[in-house]
Amino acid sequence: MSSVVSGVSGAEVTDVFISSGESVSLSCHDALHQCSSTTWIYNNYTSSSAVEVFAGGINKNNTERSERLSLTSDCSLNIYNTTQHDGGVYTCRQYVNGHHLGPDSQVYLHVLHVSSSSSSSSSQTEIRANTSVTLSCQLFSYDCDYVLSYDGFQLVWMNQTDVDLQTDSRYQIRSDEHDCLISLTTTLVNEDDNTELRCVLKHKNDIKTSVTYTVRFTEQRGPVSAVLTDSSVRKDPTVI
């Protein structure tokens, strides 16, 4: 499979799957020397308008995330500490004397992100035992519902032994394919100390990326500290 998402005709298209908080480098194929001819254009999943993030190899500094962006010596685009808002399609384009030289390079960046809420607060990071918590795992892409409709792609919640939590009555799992979201609701008990709840993006038997939510007790029967950790299965982001 060369690409999940169809790009512009003639463009070289790549899909990259990561979890939020990771850093990633998006390749620009056939970039010209010193990047002075290189322009990177970004389209996100909420708007059809394109934004130039680099032009002529220079950071445009026109977005809140500009300080997290840089170019490498081969004109690849580095994104540091990615958030769900970085999901989208990135186009690397070459201009010489004002003329567009093709083909473009397109990278579809798919970011997996988990957020939590409890019955007492929508943004609480510390909760007590016997409190209900809901974890929402969402894929942020330019066209995420198309990705999940592609044969073999799915979002699942698993435990640390890779058992699908859909089969455990302690957990209520709900899916929303249109919003590319799968939520898990459970009541944490004292025995959940160091429990790992893992949201996984799978393609058939291949794990593309994952995020682990680790529950740790600060003291017995005391507050529960909910720690979100990155658990991508590879050191490098998954690229198709």
For 123, counting Cβ atoms within 10 Å of its Cβ (0-12 exposed, 13-18 middle, 19+ buried), the class is exposed
Residue 210 has pLDDT above 60, yes or no: yes
pTM of the full structure: 0.84
Mark whether 127 and 72 lie in a shared domain.
no
HSE, CB side, 13 Å, CA atoms: give it for residue 74: 7
48 vs 131: which has the higher pLDDT: 131
Residue 189 has pLDDT above 50, yes or no: yes
Average pLDDT rounded to a whole number, residues 142-149: 85
Supply the mean pLDDT for the chain: 82
Residue 240 lies in a domain: no
Handedness of CA 75, 76, 81, 86 (dihedral sign): positive
| Residues 96-127: tens digit of each pLDDT | 888 898 889 999 999 999 998 754 333 334 55
The residue out of 110, 141, 172 marking a domain boundary is: 110
Mark whether 64 and 97 lie in a shared domain.
yes
| Residues 59-90: tens digit of each pLDDT | 998 778 889 999 999 999 999 999 999 999 99
Average pLDDT rounded to a whole number, residues 213-217: 76
Mark whether 52 and 62 lie in a shared domain.
yes
Q: What is the pLDDT of residue 234?
A: 41
Q: Domain range holding 102?
A: 12-110
